[in-house]
Amino acid sequence: MRQYIVDAFTDRLFRGNPAAICVMDSFPDDRLMQDIATENNLSETAFAIKSEKGYRLRWFTPKGEIEFCGHATLGAAFVLFSFYEQNSKKIVFETANGNLPIKRSDKLIDMDFPAYRLEHIEITDLMIEALGVVPIAAYRDRDIMFVLRDEDEVQSLHPDIELLSKLDGACIAVTARGRIHDCVSRVFAPRYGITEDPVTGSAHCMIAPYWSKRLNKNSITAFQASSRTGILHCEVRGERVKTSGTAVLFSTADIFI
């Protein structure tokens, strides 16, 4: 089995979010895919197989399969365009989250994702204790998103990860207006064994619609302020979010199974 490790949402090695991408003829047993993801110990390992419409794609964290991941989708598209579909400009991924159209244009890979809802929720004492700050507002869909006062509060946040894991969200995102970029964020996913995710494409299906409405602009440049950092170019189109980014190859390997 051929495996590629790609740094996504960056044009520099050792930045962005690393993802492992395995390309094969058919999906192996779920237990084996989970063991590979656990062994890799990256936030995501993606498995892709050729299909009639394009490629079927599945994502595994170190602790389990999830229905949607943005940065590993970018990583998978980068690998396929680079090594398997060099003459193609478009790929469709068939996933548990529906069909995801992917295009490459110049140096960017454009991904068409469904937007998350922005369901306003009450801020609880547990949320405040977990974050260590009092957020301005909170919203929920698959993830929970907290709006903080400014970029400095996002950058300096030291949440209680154990308490964050008790909140009812796959990912816990914090965001604020940015000084250079339209918005800044950080994302935590302790339920999946990920203390802090370096760059999170899926969370911006919630972050981008919020700032698009707040700033009254469809195109958003988002900066994820993890230690590795990453930049996402997002365009809100009604109930869809086009998320674009770059990626770089770190390594290739054969898995002997």
Do 166 and 101 share a structural domain? no
Do 107 and 132 share a structural domain? no
Q: Is 44 part of the annotated catalytic residue set?
A: yes
Into how many domains does the chain fold? Answer: 2
- Calpha distance 7→144 (Å, rounded): 25
Do 24 and 124 share a structural domain? no
> Range of 149's domain?
119-238
- Calpha distance 47→188 (Å, rounded): 23
Of 8, 11, 50, the closest CA to residue 27 belongs to 50
3-state secondary structure of 82: helix
**If you ran DSSP here, which 8-state letter would residue 60 be given?**
E
Do 131 and 73 share a structural domain? no
Do 248 and 234 share a structural domain? no
pLDDT by 10s per residue, the chain, length 257:
999 999 999 999 999 999 999 999 999 999 999 999 999 999 999 999 999 999 999 999 999 999 999 999 999 999 999 999 999 999 999 999 999 999 998 889 999 999 999 999 999 999 999 999 999 999 999 999 999 999 999 999 999 999 999 999 999 999 999 999 999 999 999 999 999 999 999 999 999 999 999 999 999 999 999 999 999 999 999 999 999 999 999 999 999 98
Number of other residues whose CB lies within 10 A of the CB of residue 12: 11
Do 249 and 143 share a structural domain? no
Residues contacting 42, CB < 8 A, separation 6+: 5, 18, 19, 20, 62
**Catalytic option among 44, 85, 151, 153:** 44
* Tokens (6 digits) for 49: 């197989």
- Identify the pLDDT of residue 107: 84
Do 103 and 152 share a structural domain? no
* CATH number of the domain where residue 126 is located: 3.10.310.10
Do 184 and 98 share a structural domain? no
Do 159 and 98 share a structural domain? no
Do 83 and 170 share a structural domain? no
Specify the pTM.
Answer: 0.95
Do 159 and 229 share a structural domain? yes
- Identify the pLDDT of residue 106: 81
Do 177 and 225 share a structural domain? yes
